[in-house]
Amino acid sequence: MALDKYFEPREAEPEIYRRWEESGAFVADADSEREPFVISMPPPNATGTLHTGHAVMLAIEDLMTRWRRMQGYEALWLPGTDHAAIATESRVIGDLQKQGMPDPRHELGREGLLQAIREFVADSQDTIRRQIRAMGSSCDWSRERYTMDPQLNRVVIAVFARMFRDGLIYRGPRIVNWDPALQTTVSDDEIDSQERTAKFYTLRYGPFLVGTSRPETKLGDTAIAVHPDDERYKDYVGKTYEVPWPKGPTITVRVVADSKVDPEFGTGALGVTPAHSHIDFEMAERHDLPLIQVIGEDGRMTEAVGPHYAGMTVEECREAFAAELDAAGLLESVEDYQQNTSICYRSKQPIEPLPKPQWFIDVNKPAVPWKGQRLSLKQVMRDAVASGDIRILPEHQERTYFHWIDNLRDWCISRQIWWGHRIPVWYRGEEEMYVGHRPPGAGNVDEAAREGWEQDPDTLDTWFSSALWTWSTLIDPELAEDETLDLRHLLADSPDFAKFHPTSVMETGYDILFFWVARMILMTTYATGEVPFRTVFLHGLILDRDGHKMSKSKPETAVDPLEVIEEQGADVLRLSMLLGNAPGVDLKLTKERMVGSKRLINKLWNAAKLVDLTLDRILGDARAEGHPEAPADVEHPVNRWMLARVRELVERTTSRLEAFSFGDAAEQIRQSFWGEFCDFYLEAVKVEPLASARETADVLGYAYRTYLALFHPFVPFVTERLWAELFAAGDDEMLIRARWPEAADGHRYPDEAEGVAAVERLVQAVRGLRVEQNLDAGAKIELEVRPLAHDATLRSAEEIVGRLVRAESVTFVDSDPSERPGAAVAVDPAFQAAVRLGSADRDAERQRLEKQLADAEKRLVGLEKQLANENFVTKANPNAVEAVRKNAEDCRATIESAKERLAVLGE
């Protein structure tokens, strides 16, 4: 059969994917005896389209999954999507507004808006699914999950209820990060800080001078805080003052001593506003201070500030109050200063800290049974990584993880939006509260409403449900319909959970280590008693050529993965993201990078054509279909060498993959394939005696087949296609199901490996001579070789050397060919080689020799110095010393030979 001139990914890839999927190769078997290898795909948001972050995630996870599947693991890669509460709701609301509906929440109502969101999600899920397929992802679509699937909802509520019973979930007034624009709380992690210039006001405040950038909050102060050691204020601590604010309320403040106060900053005295500052709230708890809310959810001042200021926006009030203070002579100074303001990472609007009743997860309560103790969630999270149960790569991220845990506060899990898992709590009046899967009483909504029950309007933080992802996806959907089963039984009776949890690797970007990875550890250890995964592999960010994170706001530098797939194929995109990939290392994805990948794929294709022709030529009609097995033993040194190289490559590649060094693994295969297989072996098999040896067909077929298998997890499409073309595999013998190569026992051949290395050096040396002597590239040369080692191997490669250096003749001699004056000579520990120079350019040869001599002498000086150093000889590793000795010897030989040569030339 003849291969096409080029591989056409656009036509080939979808067809290949279809064959994989229809063959059932992606589907994992929970009943199998094989050891499982499991990856839960980080669920893309059900809103958008595939970006480079998804692409690198898919490339790496598919690589691991294919490789482990080929190794014989029961590989499960479970795909899915996330409902992405805030992102999705604000996207749909935005779309509706653009279509002319100014306030969709009001116009559609809760159920109407949810319906609109559901329709939008269904649509974009299809898009995401198509795009995941286009990447070549070998994930198990039969197990696809969505965070809002019924059995996942069921689990979310079950976990909430259990945590509530265990006292790990509580409701309390807390300062939350309120976004007045989105009318919702946002978590600490959803806040960005933005530097801006603000005014810093210093006010007369009772007997003190107090600095603030937010005078309007002073209307709600309940204390003044100073540092306990601050001599200036020592006498004031404990006293209470009445402070009448102009046109505002008279506030009562107590002076408290708190070590959180920096005596160096401002005046060293600060007004404490417990209702509108996290740090002040904590102080208020320590000193038991009252809390006055002066800013409302709408971002306007409340009634508490009196009729003059009430109803103003925060900014208006700041101006107005400052003006009144100034008029009353209470404003000491106003200066500009740089301030970091918290803004919501989604709405980009300022965050307003407010007190609100919210649901929290208590991370400090020792209520979790873990390894025979009762620990807090925080302690369990720490132990899971510190004990080595979970390994984080790159390792240094473990330190970041611990640092984060140490600073972790209770996790606010309620959100004032509609899209998401609604908090499963019902209230009746102020007193009664009910937590459960169904409404209280008869279990239906209307009935409960008639009895006066009202469900909490809030929904759960998206990360609450995604924190369960590694195992909520493994719950049997039919079991989940049985509401009499508790969480323990749901887990125990789900075959997928038994077989596939804990998962093997969690692969994701380091930017969501805290958002997601840490919370999976928290939730999973609590709910299942198991860790969610054994290894966390954090990939780097994909950067544009300027080293910035790619973003849609800069389309000129961004690479659109879908465009690359369309134009060049998924293999090119994948390889570009995998070559050079290392844990946690950011990757610049550029056009140049993709050129390199494209060329490698092209080389793979072209080599296949030659392999195909050669196999036909040697075997003719005897060429059998199927996959060439490893030949037991072969005779020719070059064939032995090839088998030895393949053997070593298999070992290197496998160990690199086991170490998660994906880029390194790809590089190993590339170097061996291009440098050893293509540039040397494929040239060697063009000449006799290899060209017609039966054993060459065995080695060639086996070697190429091995390269295809090693490359397959990186570039699955083109390798699958070539596998079919060369080895005529049926659907049940596709490469995706082939065995991962193993290092064959017999293929060691150390002598031939060294001998052929000498052949390669000989070829390179002679090629160098050609260039240095300015020999016409077309000229045929006469080469004389005197082997000093590996005699048989060098002689066996006579024809090969002749072809590779374009020699008219290659003659093996017994005497030193360097004694002939009319020749250029190369020396090596294994050989001396001379090229007859018809009309020799002796000056060039002399120059070359002198340079060689100088280099060798310089090097010898260094080596001898090292050997003369007694400390080195006695203390250093004996192997290192021996290596230096050997090296010095070679140097001396080179020097001697060059000197002799120069003498001959001088005659």
Partner RNA sequence: AGACCCGUAGCUCAGUUGGUUAGAGCGCUACGUUGACAUCGUAGAGGUCAGCGGUUCGAGUCCGCUCGGGUCUACCA
The reply on whether position 213 binds RNA by CB under 7 A is yes
Nearer to RNA among residue 426 and residue 702 (C-beta): 702
List the one residue from 803, 820, 836, 892 that touches RNA (CB under 7 A): 803
Q: Closest separation between CB of residue 580 and RNA, Å?
A: 4
List the one residue from 193, 333, 387, 557 that touches RNA (CB under 7 A): 193
Distance CA 244, CA 251 (A): 6
Nearer to RNA among residue 250 and residue 774 (C-beta): 774
Q: Which of residues 509-528 bind RNA (CB under 7 A)?
A: 511, 514
Q: Closest separation between CB of residue 367 and RNA, Å?
A: 24
Distance CA 534, CA 521 (A): 11
Q: Closest separation between CB of residue 557 and RNA, Å?
A: 13
Distance CA 764, CA 826 (A): 10
Distance CA 414, CA 686 (A): 71
Give the three-class secondary structure for 174: strand
Sheet containing 331-344: give its strands across.
Answer: 208-212, 191-205, 331-344
Q: Closest separation between CB of residue 125 and RNA, Å?
A: 28
Q: Closest separation between CB of residue 512 and RNA, Å?
A: 10
Q: What string marks each residue from 679 to 718 as x (binds RNA by CB under 7 A) or -?
A: x--xx--x--------------------------------
Stretch that binds RNA, among 22-30, 133-141, 394-402, 529-537 (CB under 7 A): 394-402
Smallest CA-to-CA distance from 224 within 245, 207, 200 is with: 207
Distance CA 20, CA 791 (A): 50
Calculate the alpha carbon distances from 688 to 230, 710, 719 in Å.
94, 29, 30
Q: Closest separation between CB of residue 699 and RNA, Å?
A: 16
Distance CA 71, CA 93 (A): 48
Nearer to RNA among residue 492 and residue 854 (C-beta): 854
Q: Closest separation between CB of residue 223 and RNA, Å?
A: 11
Q: Closest separation between CB of residue 454 and RNA, Å?
A: 34
List the one residue from 768, 838, 850, 896 that touches RNA (CB under 7 A): 768
Stretch that binds RNA, among 74-82, 313-321, 413-421, 859-867 (CB under 7 A): 859-867
Q: Which of residues 260-279 bind RNA (CB under 7 A)?
A: 261-263, 265-268, 270-271, 273, 277-279
Distance CA 116, CA 139 (A): 29
With CB under 7 A as the rule, give the number of residues binding RNA: 96
Place of tokens 């003190």: 208
Stretch that binds RNA, among 333-341, 412-420, 457-465, 812-820 (CB under 7 A): 333-341
Q: Closest separation between CB of residue 314 and RNA, Å?
A: 13
Q: Closest separation between CB of residue 589 and RNA, Å?
A: 9
Stretch that binds RNA, among 137-145, 301-309, 539-547, 637-645 (CB under 7 A): 539-547
Nearer to RNA among residue 62 and residue 676 (C-beta): 676
Nearer to RNA among residue 1 and residue 771 (C-beta): 771
Q: What string marks each residue from 611 to 630 as x (binds RNA by CB under 7 A) or -?
A: --x-----------------
Q: What string marks each residue from 592 to 611 as x (binds RNA by CB under 7 A) or -?
A: xx-xx-xx--xx--xx-xx-
Distance CA 721, CA 8 (A): 11
The overall longest dimension of the chain from CA atoms, in Å, is 118
Cβ–Cβ under 8 Å, residues 159 and 413: no
List the one residue from 587, 634, 638, 665 that touches RNA (CB under 7 A): 587
Q: What is the DSSP string of 32-46?
A: -SSPEEEEEPPPPBS
Nearer to RNA among residue 547 and residue 555 (C-beta): 547
Q: Closest separation between CB of residue 145 and RNA, Å?
A: 28
Smallest CA-to-CA distance from 827 within 886, 754, 762 is with: 762
List the one residue from 10, 18, 239, 396 that touches RNA (CB under 7 A): 396
Q: Closest separation between CB of residue 496 and RNA, Å?
A: 34
Q: Which of residues 873-892 bind RNA (CB under 7 A)?
A: 875-877, 880, 883-884, 886-887, 890
Burial class of residue 434, CB neighbours in 10 A (0-12, 13-18, 19+): middle
Cβ–Cβ under 8 Å, residues 833 and 766: yes
Distance CA 466, CA 46 (A): 13
Q: Closest separation between CB of residue 228 and RNA, Å?
A: 13
Q: Which of residues 627-666 bind RNA (CB under 7 A)?
A: 661, 663-664
Q: Where are the alpha helices (DSSP H) in 407-461?
A: 445-450
Q: Which of residues 160-189 bind RNA (CB under 7 A)?
A: 188-189
Nearer to RNA among residue 183 and residue 339 (C-beta): 339
Nearer to RNA among residue 767 and residue 892 (C-beta): 767
The reply on whether position 247 binds RNA by CB under 7 A is no
Nearer to RNA among residue 155 and residue 572 (C-beta): 572
Alpha-carbon radius of gyration of the chain: 37
Determine what percent of the chain falls in helix, strand and coil, rounding each to the nearest 5.
50, 20, 30
Burial class of residue 570, CB neighbours in 10 A (0-12, 13-18, 19+): buried
The reply on whether position 399 binds RNA by CB under 7 A is yes
Instruction: Kindly give, in sequence order, each residue whose CB lies less than 8 Å from that of residue 459, ignoring residues fewer than 6 positions away.
Output: 85, 414, 415, 417, 418, 419, 420, 421, 422, 423
Calculate the alpha carbon distances from 563 to 508, 560, 574 in Å.
23, 5, 13
Stretch that binds RNA, among 13-21, 449-457, 620-628, 862-870 (CB under 7 A): 862-870
Distance CA 536, CA 552 (A): 28
Buried b (16+ CB within 10 A) or exposed e, 36-52: bbbbbbbbbbbbbebbb
Nearer to RNA among residue 114 and residue 873 (C-beta): 873
